[in-house]
Structure 1
Amino acid sequence: MSASEYRVNETIRVPKVRLIGADGDNLGVVDTREALKIAREAELDLVEVAPNSDPPVCRVMDFGKFLYERTKREREARKQQVKVEIKEIRLRPKTNEHHRSFKTRDARRWLEDGMKVKVTVRFRGREITYPELALEDLQEIADELADIAVVEQRPNMEGRVMTMLLSPNKEGKKKGASTKEETKEEA
């Protein structure tokens, strides 16, 4: 028996779908052929919106318009997203107090602007045998910036580099803003 004869002899089962019309009203459970006919008459597309439900849910809509609106919503969501910038301060265990204060001042400015700050101490040669010196430096920087920053990632060693991540403290930022306003009023 050939394939064409087999198809003629078998009974064709047409699946049913729950149909939602173009205006959003429920048209009930109909045959797939009937749903396609309704979509063609409205000059729209038949889109399956919930394939896992029983029966599957299909909607009569303009699919091109649907895709356009979806990409438009995604674009708006991306605009609303807050992008957190991470600035980095690089030190060495031998960095003296004077130079470290410049770097700490930059970190303070970045934290006030809402950026995160990654503090990195790079070891060269035999400096790696004294990681406690770098740990002390990182702790001093964290203490100096404690009024506006929170340690998000504790100091940790990765190869020849010790890093710590500071993020802006929301409460500290508000306090800092109020003290600036108070000093302007006093002057």
Structure 2
Amino acid sequence: MRQLRTGDRFLRGKTVRLISQTNEQLGLVSFESALTMAAKAGLDLVEMPSKADNPVCKIMDYGKFQFDEAKRQREARKSQAQPKVKEIKLHANIDDNDFQIKCRRIIEFLRRGDKVKLLLAYRGREMAHPEIGEAVLNRMLQAVEEFANIDSPPKRLGRSITTFLSAKSPQRKDKSKDKDKSKGKAPAADKPSASSASSEGDKQ
């Protein structure tokens, strides 16, 4: 799409299909007539992308069009940059196949740049043995720890435990240096677990 001027050598002397500033189809007119009509309206004549035999031109405010287009592209980039929050729900009695499916989905979401809300929900009498659900949640956190950061420690609220995950930033490591640094270093602190969330919830 380009703004056309009087001396445009590609369209001078040709017939164009003209569209008005109100999107009215004005039919076939000479290029010079189209320029005159645009000038009388105090607007620009712009060639539109088209596969038609005759060039398609539209009368418009080209400066405003460029401003609106740039604004639309900025908003599109902004919306793409904002990560979405995907929820994955677990249960204490989840089977191995379902566990693996949910694990792969979490990794897929994280690789796409989305965040994940991991929710363990207790059903019926499962609350009588909350440690079973806590073990499932901890198992999932361990399964995805290579790809996920724990943004908030697991928190128990009513009959559920919730935690939020985000993707780890890719880092290049020198393995030989890591081995040297690991010698004589104190063990790392334990990661937040569902059991600690459970005890906090029981105190409330």
Q: Of the two, which has the highest radius of gyration?
A: 1
Normalising by structure 2, we get a TM-score of: 0.45
Normalising by structure 1, we get a TM-score of: 0.49
